[in-house]
Structure 1
Amino acid sequence: MMRVFPLLLSFVTTVLFTAAQPTSSPFFKDADLVNTGIYYYPEHWPESQWERDISTIANMGFEFVHLAEFAWYKMEPTEGVFDFSWLDKVVNLCIKYRLKVLLCTPSATTPTWMRVNYPETFIMDGHYIRAENGTRGLGSMVSEKYRDGVRKVVAAMARRYGTNPHVIGWQVDNEPGAVADYSPASQAAFRIWLQKKYKTIGALNKAWGTAFWSQWFNNFGQVIIPNTNLVGWWGNNPHALLDFKRYSADTQAEFLDMQAAALRSHIAETQFITTNYTAVCTGADAMRTRKLDFATYTAYPNGGGDNIGNQGFRLGNARAVLFAADYYKSVGGVSGVMEMQPGPVNWGSYNPLLLPGTVRMWLYHTFAAGGRIACSYRFRQINYSSEQYHAGIMLTDGVTPSPGGEDYRRFMKEVKELRQQYRPGEAMPQQMKARSTAIVWNVENYWSIDRQKQTHQWDTWNFPVKYIEMAKSLGAPVDVVPETADLSAYKFVIIPAYELADEALVKKWADYAANGGHLLVTCRTAVKNRDGHFWEGPIAAPISKLIGARVKATDMLSGHGKGDIVLNGSHYKWNNWADLLAPFEGTEIVATYNDQFYKGMAAIVKRKSGKGSVTYVGVDTDDAELEKTVLQQTLNDAGASTENYPEGVYVYWRDGFYMAVNYASESYTMNLPENSKILVGEKTLKPAGVLVWKVF
């Protein structure tokens, strides 16, 4: 009988923030600003080429080498027999050429002997078909046999390299994503998770609403993982599916923590433990981990999208960095890009050449946003197998740098020059600090809304990102924070479509505003409780007092229909979502609907709250001009000045440096004060341009 691991309930790490500032870390020197690295796979290449490659990596300016990520078969060629002789040679070459080493646990790619000996260690998909080895991330994280194999190889690696002073840290797994697992082991683990959460089957029946369509359970043994493949979209139970997402995320987090614990019992305290979440990570939840020192992310900004202007398809989408760079600092206070796209990829809808300098711009973007690591996947473009067309730092001959490689070389050279200009203890300019903004986010809101969008026009993932873009265009430093964060560090807090809430959370928001903060709340906030149920009362009942209005109803228009809203005499178009608001006495009406049968009703309201204010934006528009106007007015009313950067231009301040990047197809000239000194780039930012300056 297969054993399963009893999973813990979810948890959230509380981190205190200083708005938009990289936090000091025992693993990185502040004066280094950012540390650059590269993925290298010696197992892909003849041993006779290893020294040439490691030497080239060092000569290009890289500072560390990322190793062993997918090499389980090489380290444990047969079960229980470990061979690190090949890895020792590569590590020693890195030492010879004064390169640090970042090791990765190989849990994402199980060896063939695992499938042959223990086929039950793989996940089952929604059709109950067993996966096999041959790609990444298909091991069942609740299979004790799989976990035992992972623990053994991780512990063997840790004993081998855990005290090596040239090893700076460890990455556990690769791009954890909480893949849905319907295997017998996962079914059993899910039931254990539910029993821990609900205690009684009656409580589960109530939370899941199983009285609907005769879904009632008599005991936990009757419960199975909700499977939309078998009941169809229409038959889904949103509450059961929400819990399955939570269980899967908890499973993923605990699996990472298990590896971190196995490492930490053998490695030096100076070696960090991290993982590399994908930039758009909708399955795993970084905030559930407890044992990682910090989290990093992967960023692939260009995969065939049109993006901004006629050159946008060569410049990439800034959203791949914008959200991740700020969100993953929530785990441990620091972050960085572990896997940066080096050029064209093999999976995009089409894969164009990048505009020269684009990879450099992406690197500066991650650096400007507070990144401590800038690492790229990968050094050499492979000549065979499934990623042949995925670019590397080197072309297929192994000796010629790609355009991305040249961008990396230039970036590393410039960073070393910037280090000479670093001065410790420089405080954020007061003008920017006065705009400090936090966006509160919880992936569970994404899970809930994405299951029941109500309109095909609702862009679930990009809704909070849109507010980041608006705040950045106004010159505000932005952090993405969990609901447990201390909000008092921020002058402004945005709550974007926070569908799942409770009274305690709403009280925290109210206290923030009463104590002098300025809160901006959007539509689809507090519409449901934590189980995903509507309130037995008005729409979004818990926030009625907070926003000073009642949500009477919600409207949506067709894709081609446009409604009209008036704000300060100006007209704005909407079509995605519209809350019809009935303001209470003393609440200011900021904007009203100017057509439809409810013409004259409030669309946006604002009220004073103690020393602060609360603004409710009941509308979602495509172009975001209305929302940006309201956000700018909120900042200005609170005494903060604002900028007006065009779409695609992002400006940051960190460690005494101002930095700007340009994802747009048109040039933009920055308005710099007279006492500025340009350190990198030119005042006029061309497409893919970078500008770094200091103000004296």
Structure 2
Amino acid sequence: MSRLIPGESFNLGVCYYPEQWPEDMWADDYKRMREMGFNVVRMGEFAWNFFEPEEGVYSFDLFDRAIDLASMQGLKVILGTPTATPPAWMTHRYPGILNISKDGVPYHHGNRRHYNYSSPVYHKYCAKITEAMARHYANHLGVIGWQIDNELNAEGGAFYAEADHAAFRIWLKEKYGSLYALNEAWGTIFWNQSYSEWEQVHLPLSSLNPHQGLDEKRFFSDNAISFVRIQVEILRKLAPKQWITTNGMFPHLNNHAMTDELLDFYSYDSYPNFTSLWNDGDREKPLMDRIYSNYLTITRSISPNFGIMEQQAGPGGWVNFKQSTPKPGQIRLWTYQSIAHGADMLLYFRWRTATFGTEIYWHGINDYHNRPNRRVAEVANVGRELKTIGQAIAGSRYVADVAILHDYDNEWDGELDVWLGPLTKESEYSWSKSLQFNHIPFNYLYIENKTSINELTCYKVLIYPHPAMMSEETAELLKQYVAGGGKLVFGARTGYKDKKGHCRMSPFPGPVAELCGITVEEFTVIADKAATPNIRWIDDGDACMQACLFNDILYPENDTTETLAVYEDDYYAGKAALTRNTYGRGEAYYYGAVFSHEVADALTRRLGLQPAAADWLELPLEVEIAVREKEGCQIVFLLNYSGKEVKARLLRDSVDMLEGERLAEGALNISPYGVKILLIE
């Protein structure tokens, strides 16, 4: 388990790049940061050329001055190891450190993250720069921690340089021990793919073998973690008093394993306006920027208390895409969105918009002209608020009775399995929307080999939408949870693959068939959206909802299995679509399709789930509720994602932490994009 972020108060700050600004601006910048309530800055993650301007020649003068001046102003510094952007002298001299695309196109200098994790040469130079920086700053009182690299796997998380193919073979030898075991795991007798020499094995450049593709993703993750370990071990040895984190959450990386093995806590980069680039707005009742609560919930599953290393503070955009400017109140709203979900440290990106380079349209708090603006005033207001309430929030933990289960193998396998990947994305979105709109806080819980029954039993309800790959061990753990009184919800395609990704030669849903009390007698993908069948609820004959994307036709196997809904259309009309089976003291639900928002809503009611604070608070749809708990007190965040004032209703007296006043029973107005934080003792 990751450790808490050090400190008894909330850490608020900003990303700052002294190498990009004239030195005579630094003192005024730092002074204004402190006036805005900041106490921490991040720097250095893209500055390798300044730390090592030529091979083997290290220079710390610029950052010494920048860090010393920050310390004089009362600002603590987080240093980034600069390995996300190797210098040109290195890529020119050692081109083998550069990545190669799946199509065989070499990467060139001029971007970022253009290296590969497997190059022994790059390992050597990353270790050298990390060691040089650690020796220089280990005892600097102004440096409190380190960020490893920057946004690992942000550019896709796929690597096909020759060094990666070689490292993949080593990884496979350690995993399987022999080519016989490898061939069996990958099912290479199909299409005559069998290997007789290790040199014949590569990362899949053209192969559609799903088992090879799954191992590819597992390798990418383990290889990235090994790359991080090189730097962490140096910092642990040379700078043991300073904490270590990294930031991001990108594809093909087991962030849970990386954090548990190597980091003190995990950090996330939150940019809610990215939703303006997606098609979420085409949905009915779209989540839009509220979807970032879902991502922050995933982050919380990695670190119960985490850092936000980059919080959006302005309109975003590189030279090839654009985002709109946050509306008045949205930066503050997004800040408290992150805090509500578990952040104990938050840094805005960035202090001032760059006047040159790729990110000239990725705006910070200050504009190019460096004069006061609306965003500066809004962030300064947050600084004043957190100065008052930050100590009460720091160290508190998010409270939830419901968890959505997830695992990396099914996520990665779903990238090739078109009968799985789209199902999970849609169902998790639908459940998160249903729970949010019904004001029911939830967690994500990632199922791993080490997951214990105690981690499950703290939840009343678990939702595992589409665990196609499921081990017998996981099935037994889930049976134990339900038998003890828990409620567990599955969706279509559950349990039909083992952990190798092989399809079981047994009736679906495989190892949880007994738990669910059903078998799948037939199944079909819904290829034509217009032909999507409906389901009809047995207890409400007039209620019809669509059974989306995939249909398992269910056969109840025993008297304890109750059919809750049947299909209305096609050749399987009248067959079971949703069942509930009593197992021990609990219940297992199986839905033969993909969860829509409407189906998740209907199940939420039947599961007996109640809104948080239902006994003392009534909330409109536009408001999200999140609860953090500390020393017997609850801190309740109310976040209004709409551009209009909304009304909540207090059913008893409460304390408004931001205003420092007691609120009487009755109407509670929440301004456009507004935030209320209530203390319940």
- Tell whether the 8 Å contact from 1:309 to 1:665 is kept in structure 2 after alignment: no
Query: Letter of the aligned partner of 2:563 in structure 1?
Result: I
**2:431 corresponds to which of 451, 462, 467:** 467
Cα drift, residue 424 of structure 1: 9.6
* 1:450 aligned counterpart, secondary structure: coil
Cα drift, residue 559 of structure 1: 2.3
Do structure 1's residue 418 and structure 2's residue 389 form an aligned pair? yes
* 1:525 aligned counterpart, secondary structure: coil
Cα drift, residue 443 of structure 1: 2.4
Q: How does 1:353-368 map to 2 (within 5 A)?
A: 353-368=325-340
Cα drift, residue 128 of structure 1: 2.2
- Tell whether the 8 Å contact from 1:274 to 1:293 is kept in structure 2 after alignment: yes
Cα drift, residue 611 of structure 1: 1.9
Aligned mates of 1:663, 1:521 — CA distance in 2: 30
Q: 1:377 to 1:693 in 2, by over 3 A?
A: same
Aligned mates of 2:438, 2:568 — CA distance in 1: 27
Cα drift, residue 638 of structure 1: 14
- Tell whether the 8 Å contact from 1:69 to 1:103 is kept in structure 2 after alignment: yes
Stretch of structure 1 that moved more, 459-468 or 568-577: 459-468
RMSD of aligned alpha carbons: 2.9
* 1:265 aligned counterpart, secondary structure: helix
Q: 1:621 to 1:519 in 2, by over 3 A?
A: closer
Q: How does 1:190-209 map to 2 (within 5 A)?
A: 190-209=168-187
Do structure 1's residue 27 and structure 2's residue 1 form an aligned pair? no
- Tell whether the 8 Å contact from 2:612 to 2:625 is kept in structure 1 after alignment: no
**1:573 corresponds to which of 546, 560, 570:** 546
Query: Letter of the aligned partner of 1:476 in structure 2?
Result: I
Do structure 1's residue 257 and structure 2's residue 198 form an aligned pair? no
Cα drift, residue 417 of structure 1: 2.1
- Tell whether the 8 Å contact from 1:473 to 1:644 is kept in structure 2 after alignment: no
User: Which residue does the alignment assign to 1:591?
Assistant: 565
Q: Scaled by the length of structure 2, what TM-score is found?
A: 0.90
Cα drift, residue 214 of structure 1: 1.6
Q: How does 1:93-108 map to 2 (within 5 A)?
A: 93-108=69-84
Query: Letter of the aligned partner of 2:427 in structure 1?
Result: F
User: Which residue does the alignment assign to 1:324?
Assistant: 295
Aligned mates of 2:487, 2:613 — CA distance in 1: 11
* 2:157 aligned counterpart, secondary structure: coil
* 2:679 aligned counterpart, secondary structure: strand
Cα drift, residue 117 of structure 1: 1.5
State the identity %: 29
Cα drift, residue 311 of structure 1: 14
Query: Letter of the aligned partner of 2:99 in structure 1?
Result: I
User: Which residue does the alignment assign to 2:245?
Assistant: 274
User: Which residue does the alignment assign to 1:668?
Assistant: 646
**1:213 corresponds to which of 188, 191, 204:** 191
**1:689 corresponds to which of 667, 674, 680:** 674
Query: Letter of the aligned partner of 2:417 in structure 1?
Result: Q
- Tell whether the 8 Å contact from 1:103 to 1:167 is kept in structure 2 after alignment: yes
* 1:582 aligned counterpart, secondary structure: strand
- Tell whether the 8 Å contact from 2:439 to 2:611 is kept in structure 1 after alignment: no
Per-residue CA deviations over 1:310-353 (Å, capped at 9, x if unaligned) read: 9999995222x323322233445421321111121115854222
Q: 1:424 to 1:186 in 2, by over 3 A?
A: closer
Q: 1:57 to 1:673 in 2, by over 3 A?
A: same
Aligned mates of 2:418, 2:337 — CA distance in 1: 32
Unaligned runs of at least 5 residues, structure 1:
1-14, 16-22
Do structure 1's residue 550 and structure 2's residue 535 form an aligned pair? no
**2:311 corresponds to which of 326, 335, 340:** 340
Per-residue CA deviations over 1:603-641 (Å, capped at 9, x if unaligned) read: 11111221222112222254x111221123113499997
Query: Letter of the aligned partner of 1:182 in structure 2?
Result: Y
Cα drift, residue 139 of structure 1: 1.4
Unaligned runs of at least 5 residues, structure 2:
660-666
Per-residue CA deviations over 1:148-174 (Å, capped at 9, x if unaligned) read: 101111111111111223222111011
Figure out how many residues of one structure are paired with residues of the other and give that number. Answer: 653
- Tell whether the 8 Å contact from 2:618 to 2:649 is kept in structure 1 after alignment: no
**1:174 corresponds to which of 139, 142, 150:** 150
Aligned mates of 1:528, 1:438 — CA distance in 2: 23
Aligned mates of 2:194, 2:221 — CA distance in 1: 25
- Higher relative contact order structure (alpha carbons within 8 Å, sequence separation ≥ 6): 1
Q: 1:143 to 1:396 in 2, by over 3 A?
A: same
User: Which residue does the alignment assign to 1:440?
Assistant: 405
Aligned mates of 2:367, 2:646 — CA distance in 1: 33
Query: Letter of the aligned partner of 1:609 in structure 2?
Result: Y
Q: 1:214 to 1:426 in 2, by over 3 A?
A: closer
- Tell whether the 8 Å contact from 1:308 to 1:663 is kept in structure 2 after alignment: no
Aligned mates of 1:425, 1:63 — CA distance in 2: 17
- Tell whether the 8 Å contact from 1:523 to 1:617 is kept in structure 2 after alignment: yes
Q: 1:412 to 1:466 in 2, by over 3 A?
A: farther
Query: Letter of the aligned partner of 2:128 in structure 1?
Result: K
Do structure 1's residue 79 and structure 2's residue 49 form an aligned pair? no
Cα drift, residue 215 of structure 1: 1.1
- Tell whether the 8 Å contact from 2:265 to 2:307 is kept in structure 1 after alignment: no
Q: 1:365 to 1:332 in 2, by over 3 A?
A: closer
- Tell whether the 8 Å contact from 1:95 to 1:166 is kept in structure 2 after alignment: yes
- Tell whether the 8 Å contact from 1:122 to 1:130 is kept in structure 2 after alignment: yes
Query: Letter of the aligned partner of 1:47 in structure 2?
Result: E
Q: 1:102 to 1:259 in 2, by over 3 A?
A: same
**2:44 corresponds to which of 68, 77, 91:** 68
Query: Letter of the aligned partner of 2:402 in structure 1?
Result: T
Cα drift, residue 573 of structure 1: 2.1
Aligned mates of 2:3, 2:180 — CA distance in 1: 48
Cα drift, residue 535 of structure 1: 0.7
Q: 1:24 to 1:650 in 2, by over 3 A?
A: farther
Aligned mates of 1:661, 1:637 — CA distance in 2: 19
